[in-house]
A = this chain, B = another copy of it.
C-alpha cells in the first residue's frame, strides 16, 4: 500500500519506521531540513539498547498524493492540514489525535473515507531522524460513520507483531476511553509535576483524581462509571513510573494538548458547571505562558 504520513514528530517517525516494512511510505515534514536529513540517513529507531534503521522517503511539499494518509500531528497543528485535505480527491484518512477536538473538522471531509485511531505507543523524538520507542502499545482504529472497510482490513492484516493494529467497532467509545484518561491523569500530573503513580499513592491527589474523573465522566455521559473508574485507575497504576505527556510538555516548556483535552470538555459542558475541569484548564494555560513555570 502507498501510505502518506503527515507530521514528523515522535509518532510520525515511529509509524513511518514500522509501516515502511510492508508499505511504500512517504513522510510529510514541516521543515525542508528534516526531510532532507531523513532522505539522507533514513529513520533510526532506538529501543532499549538496540538501534535499527530504515530508508523512508520524506518531503516537505504538501501534495499528499497517497491513497492512504495517516495524520499524526497534534490537534493544535491540524487546521492548515484540514484545509488541504478538503481539496483532495477522495481517499482514506486515518486520524491519530488525542482528545475529541478534531471531530469538528470531519464534516468538511465527508467525501473521504475516514478512520479514527488511538495510538498507545510510547515514543520520544530524539532528533530529526531518530525516534525512541519507549513503550510498546497497540493502535486502535475505528471506522467513522460508514467508511469503506477494505483499507482498514488491509492495514490490520499487514501489521507486524511488534506493531499491531486492532479494530474497534465503536469509535466514540474508543475516543472517550482515551479522553477520560488524558483529561484526568495528564493535567493533574502536569500541575503537580509528579509521576502517574502519585495519583494513586498520595491520598489528597487521589481524591482530586476521583473528583475530576466524576466531572469528566458526567460530561462525557459515561454509562458505567464504576467500570470506567476502575479502568482509568488500572491504567494509572500500570503506568505509575511514567511521566504523562502533559507533564513532560510543561517540564520542557512546550505547548500542551490542554485545548484539545480539557478545552474540548469545556466546550462540551455548554455552560454546565465543571469547576475542577475549568480550574485545571486555566491552571495549565497559565503555566504554559508563565515565565516562572518550572
Contacts and interface: CB of A to CB of B under 8 A. Distances in A.
Interface of A: 191-195, 198, 202-205, 207-208, 211, 275-276, 279, 282-283, 285-287, 289-293
B289 A279 contact: no
A211 B273 CA distance: 13
A6 to B, nearest CB: 31
Given A204-B285, A285-B204, A192 B290 contact: yes
How many copies of the chain does the oligomer comprise? 2
Given A275-B279, A276-B275, A204 B289 contact: yes
Nearest to A278: B211
Nearest to A205: B286
Given A192-B283, A204-B283, A208-B286, 6 more contacts: A192-B287, A198-B292, A202-B289, A204-B282, A275-B276, A275-B279
A198 B290 CA distance: 8
Contacts of A275: 275-276, 279
A208 B282 contact: yes
A191 B194 contact: no
A205 B279 contact: no
A194 B279 contact: no
8 contacts: A191-B283, A192-B286, A204-B282, A205-B283, A207-B282, A208-B283, A208-B286, A276-B279
A34 B198 CA distance: 38
A218 to B, nearest CB: 13
Contacts of A286: 192, 202-205, 208
A205 B285 CA distance: 9
Nearest to A274: B275
Contacts of A192: 283, 286-287, 290, 292-293
A290 B194 contact: yes
Contacts of A276: 275, 279
Most chain B CB within 10 A, of A198, A203, A276, A282, is at A282
A100 to B, nearest CB: 23
Contacts of A211: 279
The 10 closest A-B pairs by CB, nearest first: A204-B286, A275-B275, A205-B286, A204-B285, A204-B282, A194-B292, A208-B282, A202-B286, A207-B282, A279-B279
